[in-house]
Amino acid sequence: MRRLPRLQQSIDLLLESTGYPHAPSTMCRTCRLRAASQARRAAFSTSAPRYKGSLTDRLRNRLFKKEDAPGTGNLAYGVAQPQAPEVEVDDSVPGEEAPREYANQYEPASTWDNLEWVGGKKSKRDRTDTREEVQWFMPRTKATKPNDIAAAVRRALVEVLSLQEAGVHFEALRLPTVSIDDLAAEVQYQFSTNGHDVRLKYPSNEVKSELLGSVILSIPNAAEVAGSESSDAAASLEFQSTSAVVHEPASGSGKTLPWKEVPLNSANKFAVGLQSDNVMYMRLILWQIIKRVMQLTGIRLADPKIQRCDTAGKLFHELLQRPKPTKLADALKIDNELTTLNNVTFSSRRVGPIDKERQVGRWKVIERELENRGLPVTMS
């Protein structure tokens, strides 16, 4: 039965009076009492001593009900198996012998020179994971200028729609390293003949080829695309839809749209009368445009916002929205009601006691006195 731990027994008082001979002077009174209690418990214990040997041997002996059970010594099928060196079970009470060694080996540190330093930049640098950094999906810096965001939306529109028309998988998109803003500005948008999706109208074939060349990593052959589609029955849904789009005649209805009126979420609008594959494909295009815009601008859009983006203009509007400030000072600075007051001061961080002491000029006195006494200064 496991003994209940208790803080002190009446015998401890007697033991304390005689003194624990092995307890070093560096141990506190509680630790000394605990060590003495354990020593006394070992002396007066009625429980069976701990058995030497591995657990397997003990189980085997228990099953065969004798000490020298067959197979003892870890013999399996008559062949001696490599056995791990037997570890001597320590029967001694932890508090009995350890303090003696502790007293011999332990040397209290007087300075912190050779101690491990936890915390600070150096410790953080030592513990930093040296593996290769993961390539980020989005840039760390977010686009803030409206012109940059508008250019990113137009570029995403052109890239995704051009891939759609070319019948290329969307994974063939290049990383946004080459600027195609000039080319994207020349492209116009038209409704397709079925009125369900938008087509790009290029000013010339040179522009189209140049655009596709700068957008796509490698243009696959249409025959390869068809072959792979026929051979691979389990092709992805988007690829099937892409190939379906390829076979459509790429002619516009003639009505040119401004880029802000390009419909993005037309799948909801035209869901009635459309096949489920086509609806899924339109949503896939929307997702590809959103994903590309995120890559270009570094701005992450939440799902409810994405659902509100019916047109490219609304997407642009959602991207322009500043995120909700995380600090109270930033939130108060948005409306100029308080910033125009001269007797109100904003602080980007919490005004702590050190700041308050510094404002009244007392902190430098405290610093000086701490340095005179050789004590560390918290702030510096």
Partner 1 sequence: MGEPIAAAAAAGHTTAIPRIPREALPSPPLSAARSSAKLSALHARLSLPSRLPLETLARTLIHPSADPNPDLNNASLALLGQDLLGYYTAEHLLAHYPRLPQTVLYAAQYAYVGGKTLAAVTREWGVEAAAEPGGEVDPGLLQFKRVKPGTDISGSSAGKTKGPDGVDRSEWRLGMGMRNVSGDEFGDINASSQDAAAGVTLEDASKTFVRALVGAVYLHCGQLSTKRFYASHFLSRQLDLSTLFAFRTPTRDLSRLCAREGFEAPVARLLSETGRLSRHPVFVVGVYSGPDKLGEGAGASLDEARTRAAAAALKSWYLYSPEEVTVPSEAEGKGDQGKRWVPCMVDCGEVIA
Residues forming contacts to partner 1 in the complex (CB under 8 A) are 342-345, 357-365
In angstroms, what is the minimal distance from the CB of 283 to partner 1? Answer: 53
The sign of the dihedral angle between the CA atoms of 242, 246, 248, 250 is positive
DSSP assignment of 245-258: HHTS---EEEEEE-
d(CA 214, CA 182): 12
- Distance between CA atoms of residues 130 and 143, nearest Å: 30
- Separation CA 240–CA 10 (nearest Å): 84
As measured in angstroms, the least distance from the Cβ of 380 to partner 1 is: 11
Count the neighbouring beta carbons within 10 Å of the beta carbon of residue 118. 7
For the bound state, the minimum distance from the C-beta of residue 379 to partner 1, rounded and expressed in Å, comes to 12
| Shortest CB 365 distance to partner 1, Å | 5
**In contact, 250 and 162? CB cutoff 8 Å:** no
Closer of 62 and 364 to partner 1 (Cβ): 364
Smaller CB separation from partner 1, 75 or 344: 344
Which of 165, 260, 256, 263 lies closest to 215, judged by CA?
165
Give whichever of 271 and 328 is closer to partner 1, judged by the CB atom.
Answer: 328
- Output the smallest distance, CB 364 to partner 1, in A: 5
Q: Widest CA span of the chain, in angstroms?
A: 106
Instruction: Decide whether 327 or 362 has the Cβ nearer to partner 1.
Output: 362
Report residue 318 as tokens.
């959602």
Give whichever of 217 and 365 is closer to partner 1, judged by the CB atom. Answer: 365
